[in-house]
Amino acid sequence: MTTDIDPARPLAGQRVLVTGASEGIGLGIAQSMVRAGAHVLIAARRRPQLELARKELDELTRRGQQVAIAELDIRESESVSAMFDEADRTFGPLNVLVANAGSGSMVPFLEMTEEIWQSTMDLNLGGTFRCCHQAATRMAARTDPDENKAILVVSSIRALGTRPGTIHYATTKAGLNQFVRVAAYELAASGIRVNALSPGITATPMALERNPEVFTRMAATVPLGRAGSVEDMGAAAVHLCGPAARFVTGVNHIVDGGESLY
């Protein structure tokens, strides 16, 4: 990667794919990537939400920047392969994958069913593997030592502590943290950096709409006195995927205002 970097647009010209980016943290990361100068492809399951998200991103672009969308179901290998093929046709070889797509719910352990358990495992662990494997395979085939090749997996601080009702979700996120460490070690020889981003409570529209009173109460317990914003998560993602972190791999970057400290 060239050392002649504009600090205001550290990802200028880079080609970035963000999964699960039609809303929430994924969209916030995509917005930050666009502001940092990248060409960005956002992928998710629902096209209407993707179209709305693209309009928001288009307003942030400068001349020459591209924003595109792709429908994606990370539970299906064929869908993942087709999405990466589309990314190659649209932008050319990707520099950055942000594997954000995933989901969770609150289910007490004694009410957990095998169907819920397996579905969460396949989505959060299996789906992330499918995306990262596709990205890494394509990145590893390119041998320019100066090329930026970065994979960022969005994990969660729920992997670090215990909270009732999250055993299936927390288990997948803990698995992703170890996935990142092993993948980072194996892929370092190919010049591919692999890191994790672990958000704490974050003020997304969905989180605020579900139960605003509970959200406000939880946010007040964060040591820094507020919930995180999607801009906080986006700034961390840009850093980890950009030139400032070119010697950083295998880390779990916690962005939670100190929430995981207690």
**Residues carrying an active site annotation:** 169
Would you give the distance in Å from CA 88 to the centre of its chain?
19
Rounded Cα gap, residues 159 and 176, in angstroms? 9
Q: Which residues contact 10 (CB under 8 A, 6 or more apart)?
A: 36, 37, 238, 242, 243, 244
**Greatest CA span in the chain, whole angstroms?**
56
40-70 residues labelled b (16+ CB within 10 A) or e (exposed): bbbbbeeeebbeebbeebeeebeeebebbbb
At 40, give phi and psi (nearest 5°). Answer: -130, 130
Which pair of structure tokens corresponds to residue 174? 């803990």
At 222, give phi and psi (nearest 5°). Answer: -70, 130
Any idea which residue has 């409570």 for tokens?
201
237: part of which helix (H) or strand (E)? helix 230-241
The phi-psi region of residue 83 (left if phi > 0; otherwise alpha if psi is between -120 and 50; otherwise beta) is: alpha
Rounded Cα gap, residues 142 and 102, in angstroms? 28
Q: Which of 71, 59, 1 is nearest to 30 (CA)?
A: 59
Is the Cβ–Cβ distance between 99 and 83 less than 8 Å? no
